[in-house]
Structure 1
């Protein structure tokens, strides 16, 4: 006698999901339980979790040979999120539960006591199920709040395998169980109070750099001595950025879901990531020997990645940022396959002018670093990396004279955000129909055709290009920044003054 039960699940690779059919074949041979279809070690152990969970749920598995196949077999399957689907397929094949609809997907881990436990990555899993035509997804109760973020598909939460079987139509009396407690992590940076830009005093060039970066989506390098306010300025950039669009917020939520943020995955504010300079390339870019996880550059998508003390990072780690800075995507290749993560974030680098931090400071402690030491220190920021940074400014140390000489206070965060939003609206209106929304994203061909500046406005950078002091990529980035400065000034096109200002904002290093 043979019986076959089926259920649907989702295999997640990075932030991309694929619908998987779970087939359970039961035969009247010697009792055994085998899972095939490229399972990893964690998934291979599901047979013990499913057997114990079924027994404690009041619907024990029959003493028969059980073979579970995960189709398509060529797709790697990882993690414990297949437990619930495997259990439902086996129970359907054994006749302990009705056969489930192909349009219902099961996601969740099982405990030995039969309770369901939440899993990471629930948002991209639901998106994959919805896009594949599924109508309903059954998830652990601990994932229910996070799952409700995804629109266009019905979601049901169950606290145990028994509840899932009853939900499918099994004639079992319901039993109340103590739900699995969902661990709540520390307060997410996106949920913390935003620092106030008006607290910045006597640093007009830094505030101007922050406004220009926020308005155009540009990358920034701030070079200055310790205590000049580089970190203070960088921390205020996310607060100046506009709220995320629906599409951007869902992309951010998918990444945060895979990273294990749980119910905190959804946010309308741009994310903020600030890894320590001891971070490895895998921590920054993403990867892992087992499950491939997004790195800091991906978790900062549509937000800010801040690298404080940038020259202290290993040069190879910094140079790994070249591809995402240019393309807004990062491809991670491992033996299990290739995963592509979004990485369209704004990178902010902060650096001291030398190892002691006092080179070029007019007053105070004198610098004790030799010229060769200073060159080697700043050379850790490679030329190709710096060429991708639109804004490179010197941040001087603030003195009492500078504070007294300041004509105006810095704008508040709310005022600055309104200015940035107006500039972005001008850019998006101008770029309507091109597929771009920010000046930092436009192609060089657009800058030299539809996006040319006022007549004679590019003479300075044309000459710099001919002399070899800037590259063609540098020419494009200066013009993108000039467009942003024109938008902030409510000008129709960049003038020679805007181009000169953009060149001045790119003068450091």
Structure 2
């Protein structure tokens, strides 16, 4: 007897429906075809044990399982459950009448328990798009899949649950998640606040500009000056995720298997802070079965690289293209996948190996050559892609012991949101463009027009600092954000001058 069930394969952040054909005929061997990997080939052994442990019978006949389309490689353990359902339906132990209406995914334990799988949200989206009635998957994945509306989601604990469901010997209620309620719940709840930071008003101003325009920032200063403390508080002044951004971010974390059983939708912007020993594959993504890396997990959020010069040069260089294109393409011989990577890069570093170069009080023991060698660990092209270079100086005792409270994150956030609203209005007719840092060179020319005096100022700055064309565009983008924060329609001289000021590592006094 031939039975068709339906599963799904995840490529990048999208899914493809897989038809699973199960044929039982005379003979005594099991065969699985359709370009399966080792995990899929082993599934028949897990399925056999799960069926027997569940009090059901594994047919002692020839079983052929075909995964279609057969020219696409099938990887992972999510095919266990649809194959088991196909075998039970083909052997008459399970009613096949409603099987065609559902996509099924799940890994089977030897005792028949159903284990969670990766990519439940993209599979759920594809299931609705393909016109299926519902999606049956492990209970632990059910809440993230239930974010998709107009689709019946059933979370199952055991193989016997599916037998009861299809034989209609038990009633199962679909999992319901109110997406809007889930989205509005727990947004903007942070343990940190900018009011915790004493002094550093100029640094807070720079981070406010970065948040308002989505700009990349590098903080340069001695140990203990507060670089990490400031960076960790940046998410508290960013606007909340939109529902579209939340779904897109959740898809990536779903594919990577980073969502807990209780999570259905990510409501906070991600903040990723990998250790400097990270490999280039772990940072940008990859592997034989391509998985998203840290830059994709930071999509719509922040990637914080502490002690930037300590990262391997090769790791930093692979970020150059994603920083520009806001996506990363991972190519293999059989497939090519795209992962979104639109993130804010926040980096921190000491100005020299000892950490006290340009320190107002402590003496640096490093020679100019050593300082230059240390700074050269970060390439010019990468520094070009960082919009704001901010010098962080130590906080003096008077500021540190001041009883007066600092400005709260919620106050700064209101200004950031107002500037973002201006940008949303400006880019309303441009799909995928939401804030100033995302502008192309062509958009910069149209949007960031400056007058004669400002042109003279930026010309002198480029000649003195030796800035590249990319740095020129970055300065104009930052000046546009500063103008938005001040509510100015045009970029004024003071906006441009402040933007030029945030190019510390381009100045000749560094390691001079």
TM-score normalised by the chain length of structure 2: 0.90
Conserved in 1, the CA contact under 8 Å of 2:89 and 2:95? yes
1:270 counterpart residue number: 269
Aligned to 1:448, what secondary structure does the other structure show?
helix
1:457 counterpart residue number: 454
After superposing the two structures, state which structure 1 stretch, 214-223 or 266-275, moved more: 266-275
2:343 counterpart residue number: 345
Looking at structure 1, the residues matched to 267 and 39 of structure 2 have their Cα atoms a distance apart, in angstroms, of 34
Conserved in 2, the CA contact under 8 Å of 1:146 and 1:262? no
Q: Deviations over 1:269-299 (max 9, x none)?
A: 111000111111112111224x322111111
Aligned to 1:98, what secondary structure does the other structure show?
coil
Change (3 A) 1:310 1:192: farther
2:498 counterpart residue number: 501
Aligned to 2:64, what secondary structure does the other structure show?
strand
* Aligned-residue offset at 1:459: 2.8
2:127 counterpart residue number: 129
1:206 counterpart residue number: 203
Q: Deviations over 1:24-76 (max 9, x none)?
A: 111112x1111111111111111011112122223312211001010011111
Looking at structure 2, the residues matched to 89 and 457 of structure 1 have their Cα atoms a distance apart, in angstroms, of 71
Conserved in 2, the CA contact under 8 Å of 1:5 and 1:94? no
Among 167, 170, 190, the residue aligned to 1:169: 167
**In the alignment, structure 1 residue 237 sits paired with structure 2 residue 234:** yes
Q: Deviations over 1:465-494 (max 9, x none)?
A: 567822221111111111110111111111
**In the alignment, structure 1 residue 419 sits paired with structure 2 residue 390:** no
Among 64, 70, 73, the residue aligned to 1:76: 73
**In the alignment, structure 1 residue 479 sits paired with structure 2 residue 485:** no
Q: Structure 1: which 5+ runs fail to align?
A: 176-188
* Aligned-residue offset at 1:147: 1.9
Aligned to 2:476, what secondary structure does the other structure show?
helix
After superposing the two structures, state which structure 1 stretch, 435-444 or 223-232, moved more: 435-444
Aligned to 1:114, what secondary structure does the other structure show?
coil
Matches within 5 A, 1:423-434: 423-434=419-430
Matches within 5 A, 1:42-191: 42-99=39-96, 100-169=98-167
1:217 counterpart residue number: 214
Change (3 A) 1:122 1:68: same
Looking at structure 2, the residues matched to 443 and 434 of structure 1 have their Cα atoms a distance apart, in angstroms, of 11
**In the alignment, structure 1 residue 35 sits paired with structure 2 residue 3:** no
Looking at structure 2, the residues matched to 300 and 281 of structure 1 have their Cα atoms a distance apart, in angstroms, of 15
Conserved in 1, the CA contact under 8 Å of 2:190 and 2:236? no
1:186 counterpart residue number: none
Conserved in 2, the CA contact under 8 Å of 1:120 and 1:262? no
* Aligned-residue offset at 1:153: 1.6
**In the alignment, structure 1 residue 376 sits paired with structure 2 residue 373:** yes
After superposing the two structures, state which structure 1 stretch, 383-392 or 49-58, moved more: 49-58
2:287 counterpart residue number: 288
Q: Structure 2: which 5+ runs fail to align?
A: 173-185, 507-512
* Aligned-residue offset at 1:95: 2.1
Looking at structure 1, the residues matched to 170 and 417 of structure 2 have their Cα atoms a distance apart, in angstroms, of 57
Q: Deviations over 1:187-225 (max 9, x none)?
A: xx9998331101222212210111011100000011111
Change (3 A) 1:173 1:229: closer
Aligned to 1:453, what secondary structure does the other structure show?
coil
Conserved in 2, the CA contact under 8 Å of 1:458 and 1:499? no
* Aligned-residue offset at 1:335: 4.4
Change (3 A) 1:56 1:74: same
Change (3 A) 1:374 1:60: same
**In the alignment, structure 1 residue 395 sits paired with structure 2 residue 392:** yes
Q: Deviations over 1:72-125 (max 9, x none)?
A: 111111111111111111222222222244331001111111121111221122
Looking at structure 2, the residues matched to 104 and 80 of structure 1 have their Cα atoms a distance apart, in angstroms, of 18
Aligned to 2:100, what secondary structure does the other structure show?
coil
Looking at structure 2, the residues matched to 383 and 408 of structure 1 have their Cα atoms a distance apart, in angstroms, of 41
Change (3 A) 1:346 1:174: closer
Conserved in 1, the CA contact under 8 Å of 2:31 and 2:63? yes
* Aligned-residue offset at 1:448: 1.5
After superposing the two structures, state which structure 1 stretch, 68-77 or 466-475, moved more: 466-475
TM-score normalised by the chain length of structure 1: 0.91
